Amino acid sequence: MAVRFEDIQAARAVIHKVIAPTPTLPDPLTSDELGAQVFVKAECLQRAGSFKIRGAYHKIAALTPQEKSRGVIAPSAGNHAQGVALAAALQGICSVIVMPQHAPLTKVVATRRLGAEVVLYGASFDDAVAHAHELQQQHGYTYVHAFNDEKIIAGQGTIGLELLEALPNLDVLVVPIGGGGLIGGIALAVKHLRPQTRIVGVQAAGCAPVNPSLRAGHPVSVPVAQTIADGIAVKRPGELTLPLIQQYVDQVLEVTDDEIARGIAHCAQNLKLVVEGAGAAGMGALLAGKVPVQPGQTVATVLCGGNIDGNLLSRVIEQVMVRQGRYLLLKLAVVDRPGALARVVDHVAAAGANIIDIFHRRALWLAPLGKVGVELVLEVRDAEHGEEVMARLEQAGYHPERERVGEWPD
């Protein structure tokens, strides 16, 4: 049975008491850059850290008493796991989550903390899926699919209702796509209420099966999934979700990991929001200029999740700062005698730069005899300040070489 707008309205009545009322927030910096009014729907602040609780709770609430007594099962190493675990706990039933054996410990612990039994099985996600189906058959669990389910799609679609209540004149809506449950539900709701809203789906370039599937007229798989946006790294869209994308989504585009990283960093630095790769895909597309936007339009993107590993977040922000010219990586040679390195440091300090790291290389460089290689990682105010630091070191006779990573526009 196809999902209808009435199903999304019914889902809202079921889940409204358990979900967090996530805000729709303005993004002044992106608004200025695009000449439009840009907003973000901060589902990264949702319970369990993503939108997944919406569909999972709606699905589990619809089970019969007998089905609830047997419990539910889902294979997942990400947000779906925590959404199902929380939804089941809120309804007082047991849940089993099957993860690959090498799933990140933080996700295993977080899922167990929400009350689920976590089963670690297999070397890949496909192994976990197969084992989840085996356990379902053995124990009579209800299988909760991450996206290819009418109840799941309707639950996710409630975001569309909230967006149009906050932004009744919404012109452009940008939504990340994994399996298609999120954008399928949202697009159905938004197009029903405001058909003129342009809906743009965004996939990670490292795992982008939707456009090939649309061209083929049926779901097709891509062979590999390689992206930092693991929450949307789905190799094949759903049988239920692809027709919704085909009917209601105006454009599907792809973003690189670098563009996703820029979206993550933008949300952290300018919106003060912690957003994972999947959640930042839409923001990355906007910042990269890939979404057609007219001056004065009202634009929104869904920050669909915030469950990012702290180490990855740190690396992303550091890399983005290098690309934006905020971090400067320099190599130079100094005389190999006491006090020479201290003089370099004095020049850096006088230029107003902050030393993040410094490496003294003797054996690894083919430096002239009597000199030693020095590598500096400097924090500067902006790209222009970085050039000033370079000029000062050049004037002092050090002839620094800059390691270029490739720069994004300001």
Q: Is 98 helix (H, G, I), strand (E, B) or coil?
A: strand
Please name every residue paired with 360 in a beta bridge, in sequence order, or none if there are none.
374
On whether residue 122 sits in a domain, the answer given is yes
Report d(CA 79, CA 117) in Å as an integer. 15
pLDDT of residue 404: 63
Residues 172 and 314 in one domain: yes
Residues 170 and 139 in one domain: no
pLDDT of residue 112: 94
Structure tokens that stand for 150 in this block: 């009418």
Count the Cβ atoms, other than its own, within 10 Å of residue 155: 34
Residues 94 and 63 in one domain: yes
pLDDT of residue 366: 61
Please name every residue paired with 97 in a beta bridge, in sequence order, or none if there are none.
74, 118
Residues 162 and 231 in one domain: yes
| Closest to 20 measured CA to CA, from 56, 40, 45 | 45
Residues 284 and 190 in one domain: yes
**218-252 per-residue burial string, b: 16 or more CB within 10 A, e: under 16:** ebbebeebebbbbbbbbbbbbebbbbbbeebbeeb
On whether residue 346 sits in a domain, the answer given is yes
Chain center to CA of 299: 19
Residues 184 and 266 in one domain: yes
On whether residue 407 sits in a domain, the answer given is no
On whether residue 306 sits in a domain, the answer given is yes
Look up the domain containing 12 and give its range. Answer: 5-50+149-319
Number of domains in the chain: 3
Residues 41 and 56 in one domain: no
Residues 222 and 282 in one domain: yes
| Closest to 176 measured CA to CA, from 86, 85, 50, 88 | 50
Q: Which of 295, 319, 343 is the last residue of a domain?
A: 319
- Tens of pLDDT, residue by residue, the chain (410 residues): 689 999 999 999 999 999 999 999 999 999 999 999 999 999 999 999 999 999 999 999 999 999 999 999 999 878 999 999 999 999 999 999 999 888 877 788 899 999 999 999 988 777 888 999 999 999 999 999 999 999 999 999 999 999 999 999 999 999 999 999 999 999 999 999 999 999 999 999 999 999 999 999 999 999 888 899 988 988 999 999 999 999 999 999 999 999 999 999 999 999 999 999 999 999 999 999 999 999 999 999 999 999 998 889 999 998 888 888 888 889 888 888 889 899 999 999 999 999 999 988 766 556 677 788 889 999 999 889 999 999 999 999 988 888 765 444 43
pLDDT of residue 407: 44
Residues 167 and 306 in one domain: yes
Taking phi over 0 as left and psi of -120 to 50 as alpha, with beta for the rest, 406 belongs to left
pLDDT of residue 171: 98
pLDDT of residue 51: 97
Q: DSSP assignment of 373-409, as one string?
A: EEEEEEE-SSHHHHHHHHHHHHHTT---EE-------
Report d(CA 166, CA 162) in Å as an integer. 6
Residues 154 and 295 in one domain: yes
On whether residue 84 sits in a domain, the answer given is yes
Quick one: three-class SS letters along 291-334? Answer: CCCCCCCEEEEECCECCCCHHHHHHHHHHHHHHCCCEEEEEEEE
| Closest to 178 measured CA to CA, from 57, 10, 55 | 55
On whether residue 126 sits in a domain, the answer given is yes
Residues 156 and 300 in one domain: yes
Residues 130 and 181 in one domain: no
On whether residue 121 sits in a domain, the answer given is yes
pTM of the model: 0.88
Task: Give the CATH number, domain containing residue 77.
Answer: 3.40.50.1100
Quick one: three-class SS letters along 342-380? Answer: HHHHHHHHHCCCEEEEEEEECCCCCCCCCEEEEEEEEEC
